[in-house]
Amino acid sequence: MTFNDIFRSSFLENVMSVTILDMALAMALSFGLGVLIFMVYRKTFKGVMYSASFGVTLIALTMISTLVILAVTSNVVLSLGMVGALSIVRFRTAIKEPLDIAFLFWSITVGIVLAAGMLPLAVFGSVAIGLTLVLFVNRKPHDDPYIAVIRCADEQSENAAREVMAREVKKLAIKSKTVTAGEIELHYEIRLKSEGVSFVNGLLSLPGVRSAALVSYNGDYMG
């Protein structure tokens, strides 16, 4: 060991392993593409309740992925330590919308590709994915389904309510039926013929029908 080795700092040697220009370009591009992902998410959101925090998370996740990969590519030893550190991370947040998984992977992938220096691939891939999502998610191949919740007093009122709905809607399918003392609760999946839902008001005029409700159905039925 020489005299210079004693005062050599491995920490200071790693300070300039990534240049200021590379860091600025990578973080600026990751922020821009993260905003693009956020805008596509807001445009294509079809869930029950929009979460602004999840959209901001997509931007942050893109930038964080870029930051991590920049560090990994600049130091082989650090890359091995980073694999071990990230392997102990566990995420417990439930993903309610299947499409949210695609946005999460999109953000992580863009960050990795940007940090690897493949700028055209990151930009072109993001534009292609964004256009695909906007085109297919906003497309309506069929009518929106609804759940009709009917509470009846007896079997006669149940049959009468079903006959009324069968005349007024395009499609009618029973999802669940709960029978308690003095009451029958029915859940129907229906497809409307038009935007009018005045037939729901008419259900209350039937003898024995105690309540009628119409709920938008997003595909996640809990019965």
pLDDT confidence of residue 3:
46
Confidence of residue 32 (pLDDT cuts 50, 70, 90): very high
Whole-angstrom Cα distance, residue 126 to residue 22? 20
Contacts of 221 (CB under 8 A, 6+ apart): 147, 175, 189
Residues paired with residue 187 on neighbouring β-strands, in sequence order: 149, 176
Instruction: Check whether 36 has a pLDDT greater than 90.
Output: yes
Whole-angstrom Cα distance, residue 148 to residue 215? 6
Whole-angstrom Cα distance, residue 88 to residue 202? 58
Q: For residues 62 and 34, is the Cβ–Cβ distance under 8 A?
A: yes
Highest mean pLDDT among 5-9, 96-100, 150-154: 150-154
- Angle made by CA atoms 122, 32, 80, in degrees to the nearest 5: 55
Q: Of 37-46, 95-104, 110-119, 137-146, which gets the smallest average pLDDT?
A: 137-146
How do residues 42-54 score in pLDDT, each as one tens digit?
888 876 677 788 8
Cα-to-chain-centroid distance, residue 159? 39
Average of pLDDT values for 127-139? 87
Average of pLDDT values for 90-95? 64
- Angle made by CA atoms 105, 67, 100, in degrees to the nearest 5: 20
Average of pLDDT values for 114-141? 85
Contacts of 179 (CB under 8 A, 6+ apart): 185
- For the chain, the structural domain boundaries read 3-137, 145-216
Contacts of 143 (CB under 8 A, 6+ apart): 170, 191, 192
Residue whose tokens read 């029958």: 184
Average of pLDDT values for 63-91? 68
Between 15 and 24, whose confidence is greater?
24
Strand order in the sheet with 209-216: 169-180, 183-192, 145-152, 209-216
Q: Work out whether the CA dihedral 111, 116, 120, 121 comes out positive or negative.
A: negative
Percent of the chain at pLDDT exceeding 90? 17
How do residues 173-185 score in pLDDT, each as one tens digit?
888 888 888 888 9
Average of pLDDT values for 73-79? 62
Superfamily in which the 145-216 domain is placed by CATH: ACT domain (3.30.70.260)
List the structure tokens of 163: 């006959």
Reported as type and span, the H/E element at residue 82 is: helix 76-86
Instruction: Check whether 196 has a pLDDT greater than 60.
Output: yes
Instruction: Check whether 113 has a pLDDT greater than 80.
Output: yes
Whole-angstrom Cα distance, residue 18 to residue 65? 16
Instruction: Check whether 128 has a pLDDT greater than 70.
Output: yes
Instruction: Check whether 129 has a pLDDT greater than 90.
Output: yes
